Amino acid sequence: MTTFTLITKNGATVNVSITEEQAFAFVKAEIEKLQEKLDSYNSMDEFEAGEAATNSLKVKLNKLEADGKLDDEYSYEDLKKRTSGASFSGYLTELGIEKSLHGSATRALALGKAALAGLKLAKIDDAAILREAAGNAIGGKNANWREAVLNWLLQDGTEAE
């Protein structure tokens, strides 16, 4: 028997004991689930595969809709590119912002999006108010990524995941 120490999201420490048999039974069950999923994908015809691929983008479409940037039609590839989180990281890199700061900028982006979504619900569309609210939400007054994040939020650019 082996005991593992886990720390919960709220910081509680919990010891969990597991036998070798239980550990291997878990792994076997996970492999069986994955094999069933793989088998279902392998047995799809063209229509089913296309449906699965396009349905995988529904969360991204819902996000574009929530941001008020949903178009009537997309190609699969264009939608995948448009919603790629890598584009925001690439944008930061192009501006010379160090990779070590990308996490902070991405968190700030999420906070800014939330603030702008609230203003959208309130039907506020004044550019100065949007910029001020986004700036307050993202923080980082002295961060070199601040203007990049603000510009990304306020322009009609590519979405980040």
For residue 89, tell me if it sits in a domain. Answer: yes
pLDDT digit string (tens) for 62-89?
777 777 778 888 888 877 766 445 478 8
pLDDT digit string (tens) for 140-153?
888 999 999 998 88
- In a shared domain, residues 10 and 60: yes
Query: Element (H or E) spanning 3, and its range?
Result: strand 2-7
pLDDT digit string (tens) for 25-46?
999 999 999 999 899 989 999 9
C-alpha torsion sign, points 9, 11, 15, 20: positive
Per-residue pLDDT for 91 more than 90? no
Q: By residue range, what is the domain housing residue 28?
A: 2-67
Instruction: Give the position of tokens 């595969």.
Output: 49
For residue 111, tell me if it sits in a domain. Answer: yes
13-18 and 2-7: which strand pairing? Answer: antiparallel
- In a shared domain, residues 105 and 137: yes
- In a shared domain, residues 12 and 53: yes
Q: Which of 7-11, 23-27, 115-119, 153-157 has the highest mean pLDDT?
A: 23-27
Q: Of 19, 41, 67, which closes a domain?
A: 67
Query: Element (H or E) spanning 115, and its range?
Result: helix 102-121
Say what the pTM is. 0.46
For residue 160, tell me if it sits in a domain. Answer: no
The number of distinct structural domains making up the chain is: 2
Q: Average pLDDT, stretch 121-138? A: 90
Supply the pLDDT for residue 82: 63
For residue 25, tell me if it sits in a domain. Answer: yes
- In a shared domain, residues 117 and 148: yes
Per-residue pLDDT for 135 more than 50? yes
Supply the pLDDT for residue 84: 47
For residue 72, tell me if it sits in a domain. Answer: no
pLDDT digit string (tens) for 46-65?
999 999 888 878 877 877 77
Residue 121's pLDDT band, with cuts at 50, 70 and 90, is: confident
For residue 98, tell me if it sits in a domain. Answer: yes
Mean pLDDT of the chain: 85
For residue 79, tell me if it sits in a domain. Answer: no
- In a shared domain, residues 9 and 34: yes
C-alpha dist (Å) from residue 15 to 1, 6, 7, 22, 102: 12, 6, 9, 16, 34
Locate 82 and state its tokens.
């448009």
C-alpha torsion sign, points 161, 60, 57, 88: negative
For residue 76, tell me if it sits in a domain. Answer: no
Q: What is the largest CA-CA distance in the chain?
A: 63
- In a shared domain, residues 98 and 58: no
- In a shared domain, residues 98 and 148: yes
